Structure 1
């Protein structure tokens, strides 16, 4: 029997599919409630191949955080670049605190999705999450043309507003939380 080797880059492509599947699953359901077989199925693979790519789930969580933050920054940069009139940060705030972002957690920012769980993760995962959070705050600070302290407060306002808007089961209250968050985030960015 002749074995045909995989094309060059195959293993990297498969690994990337697993990371993308994990990021989507973690955004939607958190870390604890997502199993490795579920992630692998989402990538179109069997769970037996997981350990050919990762040592453990914690390593995958760390990589999924890196991937998801890069993905979110790229999306927010694209949103900002489409704005020609208003301050770019206002456009980003409007998108981040939109009903669309609130309702599509599987494609949204991973920071509000995982912040409550990260404190119970390994030091490796916490370190990656910390450096990715710092990267996001730096992006927001640069876009708003504010220092890192103000950028941290601005992003914290955005994340907190989104977390609360996702948490309640009353649609009007959820919409009000998004609106209030937008208003105060924009004021903070302009002061």
Structure 2
């Protein structure tokens, strides 16, 4: 039956949307919002430009979804979400996060570090998504840090989150591998000292 167009199944539509989001977080993380076109994004996803609008109103909406989706699928969200009161696991989490400085960007890259400067210049809804994601990271750290004093634990969680994100963002910007490694070592050391403080 030539010319008959069958509707996409719900599963196929979800898979296609996931593929677009995966490519979006990769491209936004490596190039920034302004340097990524819808044509390039859809080509990398193996799709046509017209298919974009079946999933997103515009590139800005995609950016918001890419940030939220990227953080939900990050190693922290998938590996450490249910850990409670374990500073040894916290040390592992911080070390693994900071290792992103020397790894290639990809679906597992955390948008909090890779998009920090790009997001600062975006619209309110994009910054809202980033803020929600940052608060989510702080909650995870807050559960893992083994300190009984709740206000102190919350402050330490915020500080460690900032060290992690800032360490990766600055470390990737440096063109001196030794300076980058020294920065990462310092962030890791300070995070451990903060977590161990009683």
TM (normalized to structure 2)?
0.85
Give the Å deviation of 1:65: 0.6
- Distance in 1, matches of 2:33 and 2:114, equals 9
| 2:113–2:169 CA contact under 8 A, matched in 1 | yes
Q: Deviation string for 1:119-167 (max 9, x for gaps)?
A: 2211111111111111111112212245322111111011111122111
Matched residues, number: 186
Equivalent residue, structure 2, for 1:168: 174
Greater share of helix: 1
> Which stretch shows the higher mean deviation, 11-20 or 59-68?
11-20
Instruction: Kindly indicate whether residue 54 of structure 2 is the aligned counterpart of residue 48 of structure 1.
Output: no
CA RMSD of aligned residues (A): 2.1
Which ranges of structure 1 fall in alignment gaps of 5 or more residues?
A: none
Equivalent residue, structure 2, for 1:188: 194
| 2:112–2:133 CA contact under 8 A, matched in 1 | no
TM (normalized to structure 1)?
0.88
| 2:87–2:195 CA contact under 8 A, matched in 1 | no
Q: How does 1:80-99 map to 2 (within 5 A)?
A: 87-98=88-99
Give the Å deviation of 1:25: 1.3
Give the Å deviation of 1:58: 0.7
| 2:101–2:171 CA contact under 8 A, matched in 1 | no
| 1:62–1:128 CA contact under 8 A, matched in 2 | yes
| 2:87–2:196 CA contact under 8 A, matched in 1 | no
Give the Å deviation of 1:77: 1.9
Equivalent residue, structure 2, for 1:74: 77
Give the Å deviation of 1:86: 6.6
Q: Deviation string for 1:74-107 (max 9, x for gaps)?
A: 34428x97xxx97110000111112x55322333
- Distance in 1, matches of 2:8 and 2:58, equals 24
